[in-house]
Amino acid sequence: MQKTREEVLENLKSKSYDILVIGGGVTGAAIARDTVMRGFTCACIDKGDWASGTSSRSSKLIHGGLRYLEMFEFHLVFEACRERKILLEIAPHLVYPQPFTYPVYKGDKNGLFMIWAGMWLYDILALFRNVENHKMYLKEKALELEEGLDEERLKGAGVFYDCSTDDARLTLSFVLSAMDNGADCANYLKAIALLKERGQIRGARVRDTIEGKEFDIEAKVVINATGPWDDETCSLDEPGSPSKLTLTKGAHFIVPRGRLRTRNALPILSPTDNRMMFIIPRGNFTLVGTTDTYYEGDLEKPHATREDVEYMLEATNHSLPKANLDKADIISTYAGLRPLAMQEGGEDVAESKVSREHRIYEGRSGLFTIAGGKLTTARSMAEEMVDLASEKLTRNFGIKAKRPCLTDKTPVLGTPDLDTEARVRALSRHLKLDDAVLGNLFKQGTAALGVLSLVEENPNLGEPIVPGIGYLKAQVTFAARQEMAKSLEDFMIRRSEIFYTATDQGLAAVPVVASILARELGWDEVEKKRQIEKYKDTVAISRLYATE
């Protein structure tokens, strides 16, 4: 049985840990999972919700990074291709194959031969262990695959495979896996100071942003995995320390699949700067992104601007001229910040040329900071980070790992087997749930059975939150009880995708969801109203592109 937040907080206040991870994005969550699976004690905290920063605002891809071949980052592509295969095996309900059609047009900077050669290299770096190896097609066959391509300019196309994912749920699965193995993990705990003993980091002073209380967490090793907030966390250790990050913003938008229907995902090139982005089918919707621009604004509120949206619309309509997509088609937008490791040359380097390789730093006080990397490589980044932390624990404290790294072979908590899937399907038929609900339940893995048991206990929880959006009231209840959802946004944006896919971004669902969460979390009317207004503000920020 999962520990309650109250039980975790009591442990955090009273225990001393081998490792404290500050940051609950995908990298921090993966570090926590790796740490406890090796037999170390671990605490993991985040000032907001799990994946509430960069890790829930990606392009939802687990990919090798075909475009990084142009930058000669062969090591990064090799690592990402290896990790793609591992994630397919350890989280198959959250990471699934995604075919891509790569159109080649007259005048493109890379012709058919270069794309053919690049795809061969991509397969080689994957050691020919991708879902399928690439295929190349000339114009006629390419048009059979994707009838929306520009017939006048098209020369041919290649087909290759990467993977799609639910990035927020993948992160949550790492957190829940860490907790299942003994980690103490709590969201909404903000590190406000670092504890030191004889000049060495020995934990952190934290503030519970829900209750407002402060307390200390003691640990022998502290890891800063706060992504875009890395520099802020480092300043708690060494005020005025040099920046370790280059931040770039990636904006996206989502439209109904009927307005941008493609058989496969498509890499497309901007006619403005030849930068690659993607059109990605996701069920009844299509995701377009991403931009890549230097960012110096508010870390808490990056958003897609009018210029971002127009840039993506231009690229989309240039590659698929029959689509005639415009702003009126857009359901939602979002933007995330890439915490890229600082490069020599700083902002003299083009945004899209800044390396996605990660770096690990150790400060004079012993604070470890990890910067850069990708969603795809979070597990391997965590393995490297825990290797270093393990060496330090052995060297300085005589504490040795009980086991080697097992995260590449062990399925995440909730990974279903065939029997689980059959039971979910049978219960769904019995409860007369539609395919949209079933698809969202499958993403919860074995936890779907827990959701459906709530419905069996209370049939009212089997009602849809709002007809047509594919989520049940039971999923709100379950998120509050078992998935650490503590706010309205936690459910609307990260435990579900209502924010992204409902035509009104879930505003009609807000009263229902807020009432269920209020009952589960003990909110009074004032807090309930505050949660609703905060969510409305978040929706408004996502729509700024239309008024700027």
CATH number at residue 346: 3.30.9.10
**CA triple 271-275-278, angle to 5 deg:** 95
What pTM, to 2 d.p., does this model score? 0.95
- Identify whether 75 is part of a domain: no
Do 216 and 360 sit in the same domain of this protein? Answer: yes
b/e per residue, 275-303, with b = 16+ CB within 10 A? bbbbbbbbeebbbbbbbbbebeeebeebb
Task: Pick the last residue of a domain from 318, 336, 351.
Answer: 351
- Identify whether 367 is part of a domain: yes
- Identify whether 66 is part of a domain: no
The 10s digit of each residue's pLDDT in 470-496 is 999 999 999 999 999 999 999 999 999
Q: CATH number of the domain that 381 lies in? A: 3.50.50.60
Residue 1: the pLDDT is: 66
Residue 347: the pLDDT is: 45
- Identify whether 60 is part of a domain: no
Do 98 and 149 sit in the same domain of this protein? Answer: yes
The per-type count for the chain, helices as H runs and strands as E runs, is: 17, 18
Pairing of strands 200-208, 189-197: antiparallel
Residue 228: the pLDDT is: 96
CA distances (Å), 5 to each of 179, 308, 319, 470, 481, in order? 11, 39, 49, 28, 10
Is residue 295 within 8 Å of residue 249, measured between CB atoms? yes
Residue 351: the pLDDT is: 53
Q: Which residue has the tokens 């994630």?
A: 87
Do 140 and 259 sit in the same domain of this protein? Answer: yes
Do 237 and 257 sit in the same domain of this protein? Answer: no
- Identify whether 68 is part of a domain: no
Residues lower than pLDDT 70 in the chain: 1, 72, 343-356
Does the N-terminal peptide bond of residue 290 adopt cis geometry, omega within 30 degrees of 0?
A: yes
Do 389 and 275 sit in the same domain of this protein? Answer: no
Do 138 and 285 sit in the same domain of this protein? Answer: yes
Do 144 and 252 sit in the same domain of this protein? Answer: yes
Residue 338: the pLDDT is: 94
Residue 348: the pLDDT is: 45
Phi-psi category of residue 148: left, alpha or beta, with phi > 0 → left and psi -120 to 50 → alpha? alpha
- Identify whether 76 is part of a domain: no
Do 367 and 508 sit in the same domain of this protein? Answer: no
- Identify whether 65 is part of a domain: no
Do 95 and 234 sit in the same domain of this protein? Answer: no
- Identify whether 63 is part of a domain: no
Do 207 and 227 sit in the same domain of this protein? Answer: yes
Do 178 and 111 sit in the same domain of this protein? Answer: no
Nearest Cα neighbor of 374 from 339, 420, 349, 418 is: 339
Is residue 295 within 8 Å of residue 302, measured between CB atoms? yes
Is residue 146 within 8 Å of residue 323, measured between CB atoms? no
Q: What share of the chain is helix, strand, coil (3-state, %, to 5)?
A: 40, 25, 35
Residue 343: the pLDDT is: 58
Do 211 and 259 sit in the same domain of this protein? Answer: no
Q: CATH number of the domain that 503 lies in? A: 1.10.8.870
Q: Which residue has the tokens 């929880």?
A: 461
- Domain residues for the domain of 370 are 5-54+168-244+354-397
Take residue 356 and report the two structure tokens written for it: 């996605």
- Tell me how many domains the chain contains: 3
